[in-house]
Chains A and B, each alone.
Chain A
Amino acid sequence: MSSILVYISTNGGKVKRSSLEVLSHCREQAGKNGLELAAVVLDPRAEDYIDTLQSYGAKTIYTVSNPIFINHLNAPVSQALEQVIAQSKPRVFACASTEGTKDVLGALAARTGGAALPDVAAFDVTADGVSALRPVMAAKILSQNDARADLILVSVRSGSYDASPSPVVAGVVPVDFVPADISQVLRDVLSSAGDKIDLSEANVVVAAGRGIKDEEGKQLVEELADALGAAIGASRAVVENGLFPATTQIGQTGKVVSPELYFAVGISGAVQHTAGMSNSKVIVAINKDGDAPIFQMASYGLVGDLYKILPLLTAEIRALKSA
């Protein structure tokens, strides 16, 4: 039986929520099209994820265990995925759209001869291909796209589907993988304080914009995030001026997030920023300019000075959480 193969991304010993969203949607699509649902994990200990993946309905799980996957390097990742694709011959290869998968999707499509639909907001597997919706023009427009090929590769924006379990007993296929000699060398991995919580997986995000002018403002954002147990995000303006690390950037260049609760603090709401956060369930905007475009999409808009509002808000939330 032909299959849909889902490439699973992991972080800190867990399957990423965005991968479980893709797996859940592919399970439904496999059911509709009489295809099998398969998953592939690349990790130093790929077996560790079998329980989670079968609880979301993966019937076949390809495990590629190798210490090389402890850090991200595109050459061994592409090589391993190419090998698993050759072995399992799926009709559709799907993955969450992350910086890790964006790094390999184009090369993998070229090497397998597959058609690629990157960063889709929705997709359906049909009798003769895949049809998908993609945001374009800084997410002002949705384009309807079709792909026809023996193999179609799709990457999916986080928050496009719900992750819903549906347990099965999976067949596990350990893959014998020998990394080829690669000329690429990983010299170093740099991380910053902003990396503690994976932004694109967070349930609550506090995002800072140019309204945050200094270290004092940054601290107000950090305290609110701490009180809420939230991840910290940022607009490009405050990444550019060095106040926040590039890892925290949300938007067209940065990450796509889809939390339950999103605070836009001192962010005007440029299309290139909202491209990355408009899937959030509840949006709170704090901005002193009542005409800022962010208010057109905020669930709750607070017109006022963030330097006055944040300390009070943080104190009230702390009081609430300790009550």
Chain B
Amino acid sequence: MKFIVCIKQVPDVYAPLQIKNGELSMDTDRMVLNAYDASAVEEALVLTEQHGGEVEVVLIGPDKAKETIRKALAMGASRGHHIHVEDSTGLDSAAFAEILTAFFEKNSCDVIATGKQSQDTDSGLAGGMLAAHLSLPYAANAVGLHIDGGNTLVVKRQGDTGQEMIALPFPCLVTCSNDMNNPRIPSLKGIMASKKKPVESLTLEDLGLTLDGVRESVKTTTLSYREMPAREAGKKLEGDAEELVSNLLNLLQNEAKVL
């Protein structure tokens, strides 16, 4: 059984950031493995530990993003594929999905796993787009996975009300929630071992693409950024429980008028 997990390097949302004239700048030293992708790697590792097989990862990004591939290898993935795009500014989920499609046309596996969304942009599109381009059955927002009979992936997906158990025959694609598991922290041994694991370097040209060509397929652009308007802090109530409750009820009834 072979999993290939699509992983992305994203800025740490806790890193200090600044907006000037509509442009967003942040500390690019603080880049992390997208939390949702980390859960996808973890689940793929658990399933292959149980049923045999291997986990590979693929990442589109700059040279610096190799550290994120190493992190997945240190967790236990056996091989990385780095599709080198040094400057991906302006590329949207559709563009990344197009590049990943070209990669998967040359690299087959039983299950493609992606994160349910990038934690910096919350787009949540690339997985479904990739499945559609490759004509694969898929399920989104998985909170649990298991393997049935050696050739079926059973996905527990979180829906609007309740959860659905969906069986997908191999090959298939699944997008993963971070509610699925807590990704392991790489051990020292894992980190040492990761340095010897193979990472294939690919260019867009290797996949029959060009950056200009990919840019032409971009249909959405980000024009500017602004701070989220903050809510105003209201009234802070102190006192013993009786006082707090009677003050609150009075305010909810007479000021906010919601009771």
Interface string of A6-33 (1 = CB under 8 A from B): 0001010000000000000000000000
Contact of A163 with B by CB under 8 A: no
Minimal beta-carbon separation of A100 from chain B (angstroms): 6
* Cross-interface CB contact of B223 among A119, A146, A195, cutoff 8 Å: A146
A106, A138, A240, A302: the one contacting B128 at CB < 8 Å is: A106
A209 to chain B, nearest CB (A): 16
The total number of A-B Cβ pairs within 8 Å is 269
Question: Interface extent on A, as a size class?
Answer: 35 or more
**A243 is an interface residue with CB less than 8 A from chain B:** no
Residues on the B chain within 8 Å of A281, using CB: 258
- In the complex, are the beta carbons of B259 and A320 less than 8 A apart? yes
A52 at the interface (CB under 8 A from B): no
Please tell me if the beta carbons of A145 and B220 are within 8 angstroms of each other in the complex.
Answer: yes
Determine the interface band of chain B, counting residues with CB < 8 A from chain A.
35 or more
Query: Is A253 an interface residue, CB under 8 A from the partner?
Result: yes
Q: Is A252 an interface residue (CB 8 A)?
A: yes
> CB-CB contacts of A207-225 with B at 8 A, as 1s and 0s?
0000000000000000000
Tell me whether B124 and A142 are in contact (CB under 8 A). Answer: no
Contact indicator A184/B139 (Cβ below 8 Å): yes
Instruction: Give CA–CA (A183, B125) in the complex, Å.
Output: 22
Query: B132 at interface (Cβ–Cβ under 8 A)?
Result: yes
Q: B96: shortest Cβ distance to chain A, in Å?
A: 11
Q: Interface with A: B62-70, B104-112, B115-123, B194-202, which one? A: B115-123
Contact of A305 among B125, B158, B241 (CB under 8 A): B241
Shortest CB distance B139–A (Å) = 7
User: Hey, which chain A residues are within 8 Å of B130, CB to CB?
Assistant: 110
- Chain B residues lying within 8 Å of A108, measured Cβ to Cβ, are 128, 132
Q: From residue 237 to 292 of chain A, which have CB atoms closer than 8 A to chain B?
A: 239-240, 246-247, 249, 252-253, 260-261, 271-272, 278, 281-284, 290
What chain B residues lie within 8 Å of A313 (beta carbons)? 245, 248-249
A190 to B252, CA, bound (A): 37
B interface with A by C-beta (< 8 Å)? 11, 13, 17, 19, 22, 24, 36, 93-94, 97, 116, 119-133, 137-141, 143, 154, 156-169, 177-179, 182, 219-228, 230-231, 233-242, 244-246, 248-249, 251-253, 256, 258-259
